[in-house]
Amino acid sequence: MFPGVKSVVNTFFGAPIDPTPATFVVTGVPFDKTSTYRQGSKKGPAAIRTASQHIESYCLQEYLDIDASKLPIADIGDINFDAESVSGMLKAVESVVSQLNHQDKVPILLGGEHTLTLGAVRALPRDIVLVQFDAHMDLRDRYNDLEFSHACVQRRIVEQLGPDHLIQIGVRAVAKDEYEYAEKHNIVFYTSEDIKKEGATAIARRINDAIPPGPPVYISVDMDVLDPAYAPGVGNPEAAGITTSELLSILRVITPRATIFDVNEVTPQYDQGITAICAAKIITSFLCIQAKRHNLTSPSD
Ligand code: MN
Ligand code: MN
């Protein structure tokens, strides 16, 4: 139905597949070719969709019912690409996100490895600000001889948009050269330790202040930003992360400004569904805040 995608039977939140009347359009990117350490994030989109079927649709935080019958949401399925080709995946993601962007939709991408974010950024206006939640900076110039990989994705994005278009949150695992790159280019980042010390709400306000007024905002959540206690099913788990509640508190403050959202790196075979359930909760929280902000639910019966 939508060019460049293959529809799935079990859609996110039971949403319809036709994007025509929808504002929020979910699509999966089941790609993990460049994953290192623990592969399997290509199974992330399906696991998140399964978990979403069991999330309650009433949002206590906004007193709002976001049942798929009340919310303008669609799940068009997974993006088509050659599973062996990073450049092919990037082009395919760019094409689908470009179409959605031109139709004024809010894309919600389900990863798959974090590399997908570069494909999406290529489809968007150059003034976009990327807010990245991640244990890692992903700012390496090369990793395993690859220029395009989950460990280099933000470096390629900074080269495209400029360093003042990236804000990183939850950082705690870096290589010396990427840390020096971030310092040299004045990239704004907050460590997981900053969040523990100052509190999620205070950090959220600082992030909001750091985002310039005007440009669209892209929120990208690498699930390894969470402590492995909350999200063990990721490709590169890193101890001493933030809690799910801290992540949701920060997202609550910045989500109203977002025009695109992705949740990536869910690697479901490493847990009992915990990380996929957590990802589905994060996405429904995003939907709830956006629906409230844009007055997008139909009245309750
Ligand atoms: Mn990442
Ligand atoms: Mn990461």
Ligand nearest to the CA of 116: 1
**What is the distance in A from the centroid of ligand 2 to the CA of 113?**
9
Give the CATH number for residue 157.
3.40.800.10
The Å distance, Cα 11 to ligand 2 centre, comes to 26
Domain presence at residue 298: no
State the residue for tokens 């950082």.
171
The reported pLDDT for the residue numbered 201 is 95
Give the per-residue pLDDT at 301.
45
Asked if the structure places residue 197 within a domain, the reply is: yes
Does some domain include residue 165?
A: yes
Q: Does some domain include residue 300? A: no
Q: 136 C-alpha vs ligand 1 centroid, how far in Å?
A: 6
Query: Could you list the residue range(s) of the whole structural domain that residue 253 is in?
Result: 5-293
Q: Which of 260, 247, 263, 265 is nearest to 169 (CA)?
A: 247
In this structure, is residue 192 part of a structural domain?
yes
> Residue 299: what pLDDT?
60
Tell whether 148 is covered by a domain.
yes
Cα of 65 to ligand 1 centre, how many Å?
32
The beta-strand segments (E) located in 80-199 are 106-111, 129-133, 166-171, 188-191
* Ligand having the closest approach to the CA of 150: 1
Q: 200-210 and 244-254 helices cross at what angle (nearest 10)?
A: 30
Q: Is residue 132 situated within a structural domain?
A: yes
Q: Splitting the chain (301 residues) into consecutive groups of 10 residues, what average pLDDT does each group show?
A: 94 97 97 94 98 93 88 97 97 98 98 98 97 98 91 96 97 97 98 98 94 94 98 98 98 96 98 97 97 79 45
- Give me the pLDDT at residue 29, please: 98
CA of 136 to the centre of ligand 2 (A): 4
Token pair for residue 18? 């036709």
Is residue 232 included in any domain, yes or no? yes
| DSSP output for 21-68 | T-SEEEEEE---TT--SS--GGGHHHHHHHHHTTS-SEETTTTEE--T
Which ligand has the nearest atom to the CA of 152? Answer: 1
Domain tally, the chain: 1
Ligand 1 midpoint to CA 69 (Å): 33
CA of 17 to the centre of ligand 2 (A): 30
